[in-house]
Structure 1
Amino acid sequence: MLEPHLFALHSLTLKQMAEPSQLADIVGVPEAELAAQLEKAEADGTVLARKGKYMIGPTGREALDAAYPTAFADLRSSAAVAEAIESFETGVNKQILDLTTQWQTKEIGGEQVPNDHSDPEYDDRIIDKVGRVIEKTGKVLRPIADADPLIDRFLERLGGALTRAEGGETDYVSGLRVDSVHTVWFQMHEHLLRLTGRERPE
């Protein structure tokens, strides 16, 4: 796996222009430890900093690209992992993207229009379907989670977002300003792509 300095850089591929506290919440590393690594990375030029927020720089990305094949060699050579990521891409990932579209729009009079969330029954059906996909995702990704515990953290965060959405905080389905299902899913997908060396589907 990645040593602490590179892991700090990796965290910035999951949320750019972020404070250490935000990154710590994503990857489960103590904030002080992550902040120290980011300060070192700023000093060596692999990250950029502005007003307490960090962003990975070109040399940081090059360092990660060079490190990933070795750091994740065992994981990338696993047939079970390859099968799991394929099932993820062709199954639950497409399902969650489709449900996000259904959440954001709805068909009225044969036309797709923005969902104004005035129909709680429609919204509840979508949230219920999202919950079933998240449950299935935990099973699909188990071979990868067994090799990389960060996957379980993503799944826990997805569950937390779902619980808030079920409780009426609808921003937690696809809102961009909170750790919504959509936001956490995007971060998890990015992490999976970097673990496995795959490209993000167009």
Structure 2
Amino acid sequence: MTHDTPPDLLVLHAVRTTGYASTLRLADLLGLPAAVVEEHLEDARARGWVTEAAFADDRGWTLTDAGKARGEERLAAELDAAAARADFAQIYREFLPANAIVGATCTAWQLTELGVGEVPADADAIVAALHEPARVLAELEQRLTAHLTRFSGYHRRFSTALAAAATNPAWITGTDRDSAHRVWFELHEDLIATLGIER
């Protein structure tokens, strides 16, 4: 039986998986009204779980150490309530080979963008190499969402980024958009936070 994560935990957890995000980006990511997200963020701030930072005209939320600990505590309870710990541990083991491909491929592209390395990577080859992880993700997401609905959407976002990268390589690793690298990073963070492990 699948489990729906309560909105307050969704918001707190999204701050962790994104690392830094505005209220509007969190609302868009979660499919929740911005006012609801703002309410949960302000409650979390009052409890010392999140803090708001500003860089020039950009404002966003980050998790505190106390917020990370609180989130992991609730995620662990949620995973156990769903009786899914063993399944998630197995899924994570199956995720790691695809993660290695994404990591190596995205690093190769980042080095190419920086002009580092003897042989520049080809954008078309990079995108092609990411299609196998996308296929693996489609299957793993089905198994993840059979337990926790909040894992829905990663495959759609990753595939959308790959489709855009076919004509604009910025969608491979760009930090200013929902790039393939960014989506995969958030998925990895979601998995390790849920399991209470380190990268």
Q: TM range, normalised to the smaller chain?
A: 0.7 to 0.9
| Cα distance change on mapping 1:18 and 1:78 into 2, 3 Å | closer
Alpha-carbon deviation of 1:76? 6.3
Q: Which runs of 5+ in 1 are unaligned?
A: none
Partner of 1:46: 49
Instruction: Output aligned runs, 1:53-68, within 5 Å.
Output: 53-68=60-75
Are positions 1:80 and 2:87 aligned together? yes
Q: Which amino acid aligns with 2:78?
A: A
Aligned twin of 1:113:
118
Q: In the alignment, is the contact (CA less than 8 A) between 1:68 and 1:195 conserved in 2?
A: yes
Q: Are residues 1:8 and 2:14 paired?
A: no
Q: 1:85 to 1:192 in 2, by over 3 A?
A: same
Relative to structure 2, which stretch is displaced further, 62-71 or 155-164?
62-71
Q: How many residues align?
A: 189
Equivalent residue for 1:144?
144
Aligned residue runs from structure 1 range 168-183, under 5 A: 168-183=167-182
CA–CA distance in structure 2, aligned partners of residues 75 and 96 of structure 1: 29
SS in 1 for 2:117: strand
Between 186-195 and 56-65, the greater mean CA deviation after superposition:
56-65
Q: Percent identity?
A: 23
- Corresponding residue of 1:69: 76
1:95 to 2:94 alignment:
no
Greater Cα radius of gyration, structure 1 or 2: 1
Q: Is the 8 A contact 1:172 1:181 kept in 2?
A: yes
Query: 1:8-52: per-residue Cα shift (whole Å, max 9, x none)?
Result: 211110123321111123333332211111122223332212455
Deviation at 1:94, TM superposition (A): 0.8
The alignment's TM-score, normalised by the length of structure 1, stands at: 0.81
Structure 2's unaligned 5+ residue stretches are none
Counterpart for residue 162 of structure 1 = 162
Q: Which has the higher contact order (CA 8 A, sep 6+)?
A: 2
Q: Which residue of 2 aligns with 1:194?
A: 193
